[in-house]
Structure 1
Amino acid sequence: MSDDLTTLHDDGVLEIPVSLETGGNALDRGAILAGTDALHRVMRGNLKARAVLLTGKGKNFCAGGNVSDFASADDRREFLRGLAHDLNTFLSALYATQLPTVAAVNGWAAGAGMSIALHADFAVGGQTTRLRPAYPGIGLSPDGGMSWLLPRIVGLGRARTILMRDEALDAETALDLGLLSEIAEDDSLVSSRARELAAELSNGPTGAYAAIRHLLMTSSSNTLAEQLTAEAESIADLAVTGEGVEGVDAFLAKRIPDFPSARS
């Protein structure tokens, strides 16, 4: 399945671009809306995706919002509020699908582009990948969940420094901080490596991936006792799913589990 922007590959990977070559790889509102629609179709069961791949269609993943559009808006406050709402709806849908997500972070991921990259379970960068908040440079504050996710990944003190000093982080620094999960050997390999990883996740136990993500995201607000209970309930629930049964049966039979078939 493919429309003008999103593509569902045969292996169950739903590819969603967040920026296009036009507009300097700025966040593309039409692409975000198309991505949201595709994710909603996944949630309704009309699109059989098992993993999500976020990409940029040009030399950069996403250079942030289109500042020219900000400046030309009749009402800048309402324009930015509406754009932030569309981005928030997209990110909320991304989480609601409970699908593992990979970002192919080639070139720059700035502003909203950096925010989106932080939401991916795995972010693959290249040798020239750069991440930058970019908001203070134009006198604005973060959106797209950056102020929530960044301190959870790097710690409050480091997040404050990155944001307020508007630091441009190279690939190695981003990898060390956990903002990238790996760096491809060559920039030309970023897209193919991210695609390969997304396919690998699509063939894996997506129910377990969703549970892992949920447990990690809620752990900071739980007591140890609450987290132990949540883990016990989660593993018990998964044990009777198709994937859970297939995983255990395959282990005992000493064969590779077929998780995609177990979900159908």
Structure 2
Amino acid sequence: MSTPESQEPAVLVERDEKDPAVAVVTLNRPGRRNALTVELKDALVEALTQVAADGEVRAVVLTGNGKSFCVGQDLGEHAEALRADPASSFGTVDRHYNPIVRALAEMPKPVVAAINGAAVGAGLGFALACDLRVATEGASFATAFAAIGLTADSGLSASLVHSLGAARASELMLLGDSFNAEQAKEWGLVREVVPVEQVLGAALELARRLAAGPTAAYAEIKKALAAGAVSPLEKVLAAEGAAQARLGLTRDHQGAVEAFLAKRRPSFEGA
């Protein structure tokens, strides 16, 4: 007999059976398409903080249970907050949405999104905050904010412009038109589109590959790419030089150079 959804954890954190260095974080409200309640958002902040701090985790997969990745804010709960006190009803942005996006974007290890269905509003923002994305053939995407009289949250004002350019970002934000997985791949938002039964496996395969790589270098790469999108060239060059100097002291770099010269495959430990 299955346990009622209300008694299940709102977010699951599990280790990949084939590679325990990969953590899988799953949004777990399938009956409500993983719409974001306070309970789920609190649990997601906690889960991402946990895997970020776990030295044994070298890569992360973010996905949703059921037929949707995440359809954004639970509007039923939001409506109750508006009725109670509109002035404080958006405290969730600072309390939840911003920490979640920063945890994904700034996590010192790669994060792969396994987009198993609709990614809407904040759900789209969470997906774009990940480093790589794999989507199922039936996935759909939309910003959805203008339809309820809001602007974006979850970093979409930046991530859409950086990923697609200002013109297409304006179209998607102002008109709110949805787009499908094939369009997302054509635009470069997702790396691969696969049948729904393969989406988690494809994301895990990517995560395992990344977990075997130079995770200290990946952390520096993530910081460099984020800074490079908004910083002048002078600062980018200085940051790159400083990061290379730090990585030059790691066993990963020194060992990889020796492996290259010896014509053997390097192994990485993230240090």
TM score, norm. by length of structure 2: 0.87
Amino acid corresponding to residue 243 of structure 2 in structure 1: S
Deviation of 1:19 (Å): 4.7
Provide the rounded CA distance (Å) in 1 between the counterparts of 2:60 and 2:38: 18
* Aligned twin of 2:99: 89
Q: Does structure 1 residue 241 correspond to structure 2 residue 250?
A: yes
Corresponding residue to 2:14 among 3, 7, 17: 7
Q: Does the 8 Å contact 2:11/2:27 carry over to 1?
A: no
Q: Does 1:151 align with 2:161?
A: yes
Q: Does 2:197 match 1:204?
A: no
Match in the other structure for 1:18: 27
Partner of 1:253: 262
**Matching residue of 2:3:** none
Distance in 2 (alpha carbons) for counterparts of 1:227 and 1:150? 22
Counterpart Cα distance in 2 of 1:163 and 1:199: 34
Distance change in 2, residues 1:165/1:183 (3 Å): same
- 1:183, CA displacement in angstroms? 1.2
* Alpha-carbon distance between aligned partners in 2 of 1:159 and 1:229, rounded to the nearest angstrom: 30
Choose the corresponding residue for 2:58, options 50, 58, 67.
50
SS state at 1:79 partner: coil
Q: In the aligned structure 2, how far is the partner of 1:176 from the partner of 1:34?
A: 33
Distance in 2 (CA, whole Å) between partners of 1:128 and 1:255 is 42
Q: Which runs of 5+ in 2 are unaligned?
A: 1-8
Distance across 1 between alignment mates of 2:64 and 2:219:
25
SS at match of 2:60: strand
Per the alignment, in what secondary structure is the counterpart of residue 264 of structure 2?
A: coil
Q: Is the 8 A contact 1:251 1:257 kept in 2?
A: yes
Distance 1:224 1:83 in 2: 32
Contact kept? 2:10, 2:29, Cα under 8 Å: no
Q: CA deviation at 1:168?
A: 0.4
What is the identity, as a one-letter code, of the residue corresponding to 2:202? Answer: R
Aligned residues of 2:34 and 2:70 also touching (Cα < 8 A): yes
Number of residue-to-residue matches in the alignment: 259
- The structure 2 residue matched to 1:223, chosen from 232, 253, 263, is 232
- Report SS of the residue matched to 1:70: helix
Q: Distance in 2 between matches of 1:152 and 1:3?
A: 31
Q: Residues 126-151 of structure 1: CA distance to partner in whole angstroms, max 9, x if unpaired?
A: 21111100111222221111111111
Q: Structure 1 unaligned runs (5+)?
A: none
1:70 corresponds to: 78
| Matches of 2:260 and 2:10, distance apart in 1 | 39
Which TM-score applies when normalising by structure 1?
0.89
The amino acid across from 1:230 in the alignment is: A
Sequence identity, in percent?
A: 34
The yes-or-no answer on 1:178 pairing with 2:205 is: no
Q: Which residue of 2 aligns with 1:137?
A: 147
Q: Quote the Cα distance in structure 1 between the aligned partners of 2:35 and 2:11.
A: 18
Measured in 2, the distance between the counterparts of 1:13 and 1:190 equals: 16
Letter in 1 for 2:198: L
The one-letter code matched in structure 2 to 1:57 is: N
Q: Give the match's secondary structure for 1:78.
A: coil
Distance 1:32 1:253 in 2: 49
Larger deviation, residues 173-182 vs 157-166: 173-182
